[in-house]
Amino acid sequence: MAEINAKDVKDLRDRTQAGFMECKHALEEANGDTERAIDVLRKQGLAKAEKKAARVTNQGVIYSYIHGGGRIGVMLELNCETDFVARTEEFKSLAHELALQICATDPRWIVREDVPQGVIEREKGIYCDQAKASGKPEKVVDKIVEGKLEKFFEESCLVEQQYIRDDKVRVKELIANVIHKTGENVRLRRFMRYQLGEELE
């Protein structure tokens, strides 16, 4: 096992804002490789977020953002467990970043579970027809459909999207990071995106 020194731990803390011992253990697990240690911390954050997901969130904030000289607007409701966390910079910053993400990518749903089954079946039918029309063998059609459906979720569902500031990070990891820092469940309940002139003939 590689020797973990204090400087490596400090560098990892500066990059991730995780605790000292968490960084040390992550570096030990990654055998001193900082990039791998970051992945370890990200996975731990998601795991802890999943454990907290059942806890009630009835505090939070309604946040609004106007972009592009008034041409695009986003309003969202971000929830947490206590009013104290709702007032923290981490929570407010997350609300802002989510609004920017929604503004830039125009997602249709928050999580893949929100996608109506009818939409999923229609997408699968289109992908299946495309694969068959391109002459793909029958045995690989299902895998192609599965891959394209996953891509559909990644583009259409907010938490599955790549973060606009860092394409190595998913939006769900941003949320998990705030859950990890605050110790509370944090959930985006709903959002609305408005664009000037949309749906006008």
Instruction: List the end-to-end C-alpha distance of the chain, in Å, as a whole number.
Output: 66
Q: Do 177 and 167 belong to one domain?
A: yes
46-74 average pLDDT score: 78
70-97 average pLDDT score: 94
Q: Do 162 and 107 belong to one domain?
A: yes
% of the chain at pLDDT higher than 90: 48
Q: Do 11 and 47 belong to one domain?
A: yes
pLDDT at 129: 86
Q: Do 13 and 105 belong to one domain?
A: no
Q: Do 14 and 47 belong to one domain?
A: yes
3 state DSSP class of 133: helix
Q: Is the pTM of this model over 0.85?
A: no
CATH value at residue 148 = 1.10.286.20
3 state DSSP class of 169: strand
Q: Evaluate whether residue 136 is within a structural domain.
A: yes
Q: How far is CA 187 from CA 56, 83, 104, 159, in A?
A: 10, 14, 20, 10
Q: Provide the number of structural domains found in the chain.
A: 3
Q: Do 169 and 106 belong to one domain?
A: yes
Q: Which residue range is the domain that position 105 belongs to?
A: 59-111+157-195
Using N-to-C axis directions, what is the helix angle for 6-16 and 20-29, rounded to 10°?
A: 110
CATH value at residue 181 = 3.30.479.20
Q: Evaluate whether residue 200 is within a structural domain.
A: no
Q: Do 63 and 106 belong to one domain?
A: yes
pLDDT at 55: 63
Say if residue 50's pLDDT is above 70. Answer: no
Give CA–CA dist 130/144, Å, rounded.
10
CATH value at residue 47 = 1.10.8.10
Digit-coded pLDDT (tens) for 151-175: 999 999 999 999 999 999 999 999 9
Q: How far is CA 123 from CA 116, 117, 149, 153, in A?
A: 11, 10, 7, 11
Q: Of how many residues is the chain composed?
A: 201
Q: Do 187 and 94 belong to one domain?
A: yes
